[in-house]
Structure 1
Amino acid sequence: MTPVLDQTRAAPARVSGCDLRVPLVQGGTRTYANFDCAASAPALAQVTDRVAELLPYYASVHRGAGYPSRISTDCYESARGSVARLLHCADDQVVVFTRNTTDALNLLASCVPGDTVVLDIEHHANFLPWTRHGRRVVPAADTIEETIRRLVAELCTKPAALLAVTGASNVTGEVLPLRRLATIAHQCGARILVDAAQLAPHRRIDLRDTGIDYLACSGHKLYAPFGAGVLVGRRDWLDAAAPYLAGGGAVREVTTTGAEWAAAPQRHEAGSPNVLGVAALAAACDTLAELDEPTVTEHEHRLTERLRDGLKTIAGVRFLRIWPDSTDSVGIVTLTVDGFEPGHIAAYLSAEHGIGVRDGRFCAHPLLARLGVDTAVRASIGLGTSADDVDRLIEAIGTMVERGPDWDYSCRDGRWDPTPETRPRLAPDTPAGSAPCTF
């Protein structure tokens, strides 16, 4: 049965932790409102159910003769089909499992036979790895149209092997015209890589239709936070490159003088794989593929507009945006508030209202510098976000601006915390940062 969107609960599928109660600094608890999905999304309940189902059968894959090994191997290998179906992969594209998007992009960087062209708006994961064979940075212009013209000029002036772009900005949520960029790259003799870490959780991506050659994304942003990611792409570069890791599973034959390496994807998956993480990712892909995409997209758009419209009424709120002529964005709203440090805002929302947001530079330092801010606050909408959550966030920020927080806060080493901190956090007599939560 195909899941449909429940407008009252605002969730097209069950999300783990939707009823989580968190302590407030002033006492009592409140249901957690999660606006930090762009960093790590909660697990779909179907994902946690699948992991629990597989756990008793967890065993070594590919070479184990026991029944659990056969089950684990089948789950691991069939997961490639789940990913391929969600993304509508082309026949010559293979699915390589990685740890996360960053891992996937570094893997591809080791395979690219030439220069890579990138914009200066990228997440560090799609900016730092491309120096191995030559990274050419194109500064974004004041409009998306002029930015595309700059990319065309760069690609046509000097040949490049790859154009690497984000699918959706992790700072502003703005979506790039991927089909158009793929056509431009191909006309200029390059291939295109899409960092889909932010786009994949919000939009259905069709690799065949758009012409995307390579795509990377993370399970932990795709409602499968069990430590697996994926690189999907054309096999020729992956087959020609040296293995990303040298070890068991990546070889056909080993002698004392050399090795015969396997083809992709096994070529780049040496060592014991994250079977449970991959099974979780497959479950997320299967669940997302069954959702009614127009309904989910409209739901997200409605909540995003509700949040923007509400925040516009609050004095001093300013939104971050890269281009005034961009026409599409996912459910990310990033802002500053005059007179308040972003870290202070985030700490206040958590401590006094049970609301989680992200503050900082979002691993996109060049973009924040371009936008003229040191840090900002990011609120991201996910499958479990409701209209009530949005209204709570608007009201909480409005209250902070109108009369200030009810609690004292202090900043130490760049981190804002309520003073005193009354919420339970760590086990007794355990150094900070090294203990599990007590609740």
Structure 2
Amino acid sequence: MQTVSSVLDAISDVGRDATRGGYSRGVFTPAESSLREWFTAEAETRGLAVETDRNGILWAWWDVTAGRDGALVTGSHLDSVPGGGAFDGPLGVASALVAVDLLRERGVRPQRSLAVAVFPEEEGSRFGVSCLGSRLLTGTLDPDHVRSLTDPDGITFADASRAAGLDPAHLGRDEEAIARIGDFVELHVEQGRGLIDLDSAVAIGSTMLGHGRWRLSITGQGNHAGTTLMADRADPLVAAAQVVLAVRKAAAEQDGARATVGRLQPVPGGTNVIASRVELWLDVRHEDDAVTAALLERIHGQAQKICAFEGCRATLTEESRSGTVHFDGALQRTLGNALGRSFPGAPTLPTGAGHDAGILGAVAPTAMLFVRNPTGVSHSPEEFVERDDADAGATALADVLDDLL
């Protein structure tokens, strides 16, 4: 039987980013398409029947004797952030495949159907909306809006999905797929230090912080860098620099808040050109959705003041928002009982990261398992999982699935 690490070793060269380090595996890119082909081959090798639904979600079915409605579903995603680590997403997919191997080795005969699912564009790194596949499935995104989304090269989601073999006309809430999900359990690398500090290989997820993404467009006056006196400038990049500092200050003053500017794009972007516009992307998170909203309002107000002082204008546009999610209590107890036999004392941890399990919680009971990351670093090439911990995670997932089956 394969280990989790040996399964992941097969894709260790797919999507490597020579510039950023780590991996860049945007949805519908050649790298992500190769990973989808890899998953399909791995699933079919195990005798799983693979299909793609109208929103681009892959489903690999172990047993459909009991019918597909109300199935037990596990899995994660294969796309990455730019320059991301090797485990964010693929660990959950590989662990699900190995968990199926373990269940078969134990002689488990499912009393309900089991599917391993792969959700596209979880990170939102290409089209700017996180958990896009699960949001489409659950109907929390307008399909017309999604079809019109563009990547940095100006390619629309409609065109990219069509090139990947989907019909963009059929994107949107999928009642048939929703009915399939009786319970959903997602395994994921922990994206913080919780398990390091608790000296545990695995943990059960409790809550997922509410978070959102916004685009702040700051417009000024584009001009020549050599002929425009400093006093005559309306430089949106100067305003944007001050906004970045204001974001950090506002979040630091609010207990438990996180706010990040992870991307900033001056237009036109020439070295000897004063920018005419700066696009700035903002990520804000807090466990209390009202606090998130208030923090965003404070940041927006500060941005408007800064821009007015610099002779610029600021426009804020929401790209996505999710409230705080409390994972299903009964399912958490089931996970606790299952892990209590093999992993006594497995802790329960909240997560500040977003996951498809949080989106799917609106239509079905969902739960999460986290596997220790000894670096405590994620969304970075430094993200890591020890081989023994990866196998411990797959065993924990198999124990949970065994009980739920």
Instruction: Give the TM-score range, shorter chain.
Output: under 0.3
TM-score, structure 2 as length reference: 0.26
Q: Name whichever structure is richer in strand by fraction.
A: 2
